[in-house]
Amino acid sequence: MGFKLLLLFLFVATFSGFTYGVVEVNLISRQKLLEVERKLNLLNKRAVKSIRSEDGDIIDCIDVHKQPAFDHPALRNHTIQMTPSYNPQTERTTTTMETSTKGGGGSSVTVTSQLWQRSGSCPEGTIPIRRIRKKELVKASSVKEYGRKKPSQKFNHLDEDIDSYLQLENHSLAILLTEGYSYSGAKGDIKVWNPFVETDDEYSTSRVSLKNGPYMSYEAIESGWAVNPGVYGDRSTRLFVYWTTDSSKTTGCFDLTCPGFVQTSNEVALGAAIYPISTSTGLPYQITTYIFQDPNTSNWWVQFGEKTNIGYWPPDLFALLRYHAITVQWGGEVCSSKTGIHPHTATGMGSGNFPDYVFGNSGYVKRMRVRQTILDLRFPEWVDTYTDEYKCYDAFYLGDYVEDPEFYYGGLVIRQANDMVGKSMDKSGCDPALRQELTTLANSSVGLKASLSSFVLSLKLSLHCFVLAFYMMDPRVLFHRLEKNIFILIVSSWGGGAFHVIKQYGGKEIHLRFMFPFDCRESCGLTPGVVGVDSISGHKLLEVERKLDHLNKHAVKSIHSEDGDIIDCVDIYNQPAFDHPALRNHTIQMTPSYHPTMERTSTTMKASTKGKGGSSLNVTSQLWQRSGSCPEGTIPIRRIQKQDLLKANSLKETTEVFLRVQVAILIAQGFSYLGAQGDIKVDNPFVESDDYSTSQVSLKNGNYMYYEAIESGWAVNPRVYGDRTTRLFVYWTVDSSNTTGCFDLTCPGFVQTSNKVALGAAIYPISTSGGLPYQITVYIYKDTNTSNWWVQYNGVNIGYWPQDLFGALRYHAESVEWGGEVYSSKIGTHPHTATAMGNGQLPNWDDYGCRSGCVKRMRVRENSLDLRFPEFVNAYADEYRCYDVFYIEDYVEDPEFYYGGPGKSLWCP
């Protein structure tokens, strides 16, 4: 009955060129199908209302008195407690984590939303329940055990000093634990990631957990986030709760997949996707999870965020936990049948990186608190770290030199070492992260410079070392001590955020990044990535100060953004544009002289019949807007920092676009164009230190060697912005960037009118490979009455380029381009730059979700004011093996353009 039929269907049609390969068909037994139907009838209650979420989930609003919990025999006559009997006293909670003196995880934005909430809400008296699909149960190895963790029948290497339930087979932990008291609550701020999960029967979670009982049959309750394809059917990061009374042998489950947890909130759906999530080069996001016992009813409540009480586990479910917990754990768990063996599972924990307490690019938990005999929350008196496989998933507790203790954890199997990194692999169980160390330069007067090469420097010095820890695509560097008369610049060979000023000596600012301290009494290896040591001349410092005075105008108000940017609200009449000689007497045009006639813009890209670009959510916000707003009569300008200018080889280079560019574009030519529009998917491609990568809409006029151009879109440009964040930009030039033009407001020219959008500020959220696709809508158009070229961002008119700046463009554009551009000095050479375009994937229109860079709803404006698709387009790529293009217009509702690539690769050496 339950067997697999393997069909080999090979068909070659000479007229079509199609070749069909292997198709595998699973025949499901009638018995299992009957089990599935019974289970679905049990799990999916009748809905008062159903909400279709943008990620495909269906959220059913169920009468709170008809939820699955009451199918449990112990809860048949249970009376719902709608709210806790008291308001739990907690420490003051800010929206961001405090940045400590030594810990460099930075600030995290608290996530309190779920994606389904964008599509609707459940009425009072109901609770939102994620509908279980038939296909999810069909894929389960056992319908009866669906939603339950895999129990462990035996244990790995037992350590007498550690409770044995920490060492379960098929489970690998990296946790911070406390025990020795009676606990009635535990809380933590958990950074939200989307780790890789190798197979559908594995999962990775980050959570707060409370336990009681013997290790062979303990009781446990926990909550946090999980990537669990076996339960949820995909690899999205989702909010979960879990409980068991016998180590998951026969009881317990995730969320509401079995009777037990009583939900009371109509705002939060267990098992629904959390958004946004953290990315290695983007913003950090966290959830706050608090599990506490009501002292009057003994119910164990789960709080999500600081205010939302989701529901509770009644004490009737438990024998020991009805009184208290004896252990609290914070951290990560990976479940796989391939833990502790070789080859090891590739499923990641946390972010997939080993603990990183400097930049926070690993899993971490902060503001860890417990509740003991009193109702106040406090940090536990005793904690300890524990890992099952420290070479695969490690843990690091930071308790000294920080305002509040922090716990970092996680790990990843390194499957392919990069040529740029020296190999130092320990072949035991699984491959650890690559680690490299360099002896210190402290107390040295030696000048040193190296770029992507190995060198050895021997000095008789103190016990401090450089430590370079390379994590699969995200290395970091430490410099522990330096001498006062040397300027030290330390950069990573793969990427990272902006440098921060650590200390200043004698007028020279020292820009450092701190990582793991290392004791040199043990051996120190030598193979660094990119390390630069250079002096800053007094002449350059003077240039920097002059440039800053010119760029940064007096602010009426300043806003400190969560990503470290400072947004100055500058009087609109005092903006940089009016430093341009041609604009000294310019009169500001506050709004266009007419409302541009546009086609209806939907919030999602339309899914076509054949092209599978999927839906993309419109990005209408910038991160700084969460921290404040600029008053009327001012414009928001991102403040240029001194370190941004210090890193430039030439101060002039911060404003110019270089000629060494490669494009992958769709071109429209042959008419006079007065405007162009496109929906551009927002990504965060990898960019080497001296390169940039943009995706934009561009209009040009003039010959190839001396053209005029205006463009807008998103860019990753560390040379201009000082980090690798994806940012909104505008750019202009009148001589192919030879002597004129700049990004944003870094030179006079563009006149800004909006007080809502800051040029050069971070766009959020951005698309991720395992998450939702996001887009921005960019529209550049000419005001036919004033000849000014306006830029519209998601329907907001940001400002304009006055026609006085241009010669040919004051009349019209002769060509329109949509797509990507990469600048690098290593284009057309060997080795090629590794800077990516789009999201780093070569275009493939048949990939669901627009997995490469893409532009949709491309429109131009010609003689009339209407937007329409151009009559003629052509796709073009300079280096198709590195960055390719794909244009599709057949069998789709609207033509689509796909572009991008990884740069250096097997096909682009």
110 pLDDT band, cuts 50/70/90, is low
User: Of the candidates 356, 382, 410, which is a domain's last residue?
Assistant: 410
- Would you say residue 542 lies in a domain? no
CA 52, CA 41: separation in Å to the nearest integer?
A: 20
For 270-324, write each residue's pLDDT tens digit: 999 998 898 877 788 999 999 999 999 999 999 998 889 999 999 999 999 999 9
Of the candidates 781, 483, 760, the residue with the CA atom closest to the CA atom of residue 622: 760
The per-residue pLDDT for 59 is 96
Are 402 and 430 in the same domain?
Answer: no
Q: What is the rounded average pLDDT for all residues in the chain?
A: 77
Amino acid at 390: Y
The per-residue pLDDT for 642 is 75
pLDDT: is 816 or 535 the higher one? Answer: 816
- Would you say residue 86 lies in a domain? yes
Instruction: Give me the domain span that covers residue 508.
Output: 420-535
- Would you say residue 19 lies in a domain? no
Query: H-helix or E-strand containing 395?
Result: strand 394-398
The per-residue pLDDT for 538 is 53
- Residue 510: is its pLDDT beyond 50? no
Q: How far is CA 216 from CA 185, 221, 473, in A?
A: 23, 16, 40
The per-residue pLDDT for 849 is 57
The per-residue pLDDT for 393 is 93
- Would you say residue 104 lies in a domain? yes
Q: What is the pTM of this model?
A: 0.55
Cis peptide before 343 (omega within 30 of 0): yes
Q: Which of 40-49, 255-264, 431-440 has the lowest mean pLDDT?
A: 431-440
Q: Which of 187-191, 445-449, 587-591 has the lowest mean pLDDT?
A: 445-449
Of the candidates 343, 366, 322, 358, the residue with the CA atom closest to the CA atom of residue 415: 343
- Would you say residue 327 lies in a domain? yes
- Would you say residue 20 lies in a domain? no
Are 166 and 92 in the same domain?
Answer: yes
Mean pLDDT of 574-596: 91
User: Of the candidates 535, 566, 586, which is a domain's last residue?
Assistant: 535
Are 167 and 274 in the same domain?
Answer: yes
Instruction: Please list the alpha-helical segments (H only) found in 594-676.
Output: 642-646
- Residue 860: is its pLDDT beyond 50? yes
Give the E-state strand segments of 150-249 in sequence order.
171-183, 185-191, 203-212, 219-227, 238-244
- Max avg pLDDT among 103-107, 282-286, 746-750: 746-750
The DSSP line for 798-823 is EEEE-GGG-SSTTT-EEEEEEEEEEE
Q: How far apart are the first and last CA of the chain?
A: 52
The per-residue pLDDT for 315 is 97
User: Of the candidates 410, 443, 463, which is a domain's last residue?
Assistant: 410
The per-residue pLDDT for 460 is 25
Mean pLDDT of 99-116: 58
Are 426 and 314 in the same domain?
Answer: no
Q: Are 660 and 827 in contact (CB under 8 A)?
A: yes
Q: Are 355 and 332 in contact (CB under 8 A)?
A: no
The per-residue pLDDT for 80 is 96
- Residue 519: is its pLDDT beyond 60? no
Are 400 and 481 in the same domain?
Answer: no
Q: For residue 660, how many C-alpha atoms fall within 13 Å in the half-sphere facing its CB?
A: 12
The domain tally of the chain equals 3
Residues in CB range of 601: below 8 A, 6 or more apart: 777, 795, 857
3-state helix, strand, coil in the chain (%, to 5): 10, 35, 55
Backbone angles phi, psi at 696, to 5 degrees: -155, 170
Are 512 and 583 in the same domain?
Answer: no
- Residue 503: is its pLDDT beyond 50? no
- Residue 694: is its pLDDT beyond 50? yes
Of the candidates 657, 636, 799, 646, the residue with the CA atom closest to the CA atom of residue 742: 657
- Would you say residue 733 lies in a domain? yes
- Would you say residue 545 lies in a domain? no
Q: Which residue carries 């599990």 as its tokens? A: 291
The per-residue pLDDT for 512 is 32
CA 852, CA 901: separation in Å to the nearest integer?
A: 8
The per-residue pLDDT for 351 is 92
Are 208 and 285 in the same domain?
Answer: yes
Of the candidates 304, 70, 72, the residue with the CA atom closest to the CA atom of residue 187: 304
Are 454 and 328 in the same domain?
Answer: no
Are 855 and 819 in the same domain?
Answer: yes
Are 286 and 424 in the same domain?
Answer: no
Give the chain's length. 909
Query: H-helix or E-strand containing 229?
Result: helix 229-232
The per-residue pLDDT for 846 is 64
Q: Are 892 and 611 in contact (CB under 8 A)?
A: yes
Pairing of β 363-371 and β 406-410 = antiparallel
pLDDT: is 738 or 379 the higher one? Answer: 379
Are 399 and 500 in the same domain?
Answer: no
- Residue 418: is its pLDDT beyond 70? no
Are 698 and 593 in the same domain?
Answer: yes
For 778-792, write each residue's pLDDT tens digit: 999 999 999 999 999
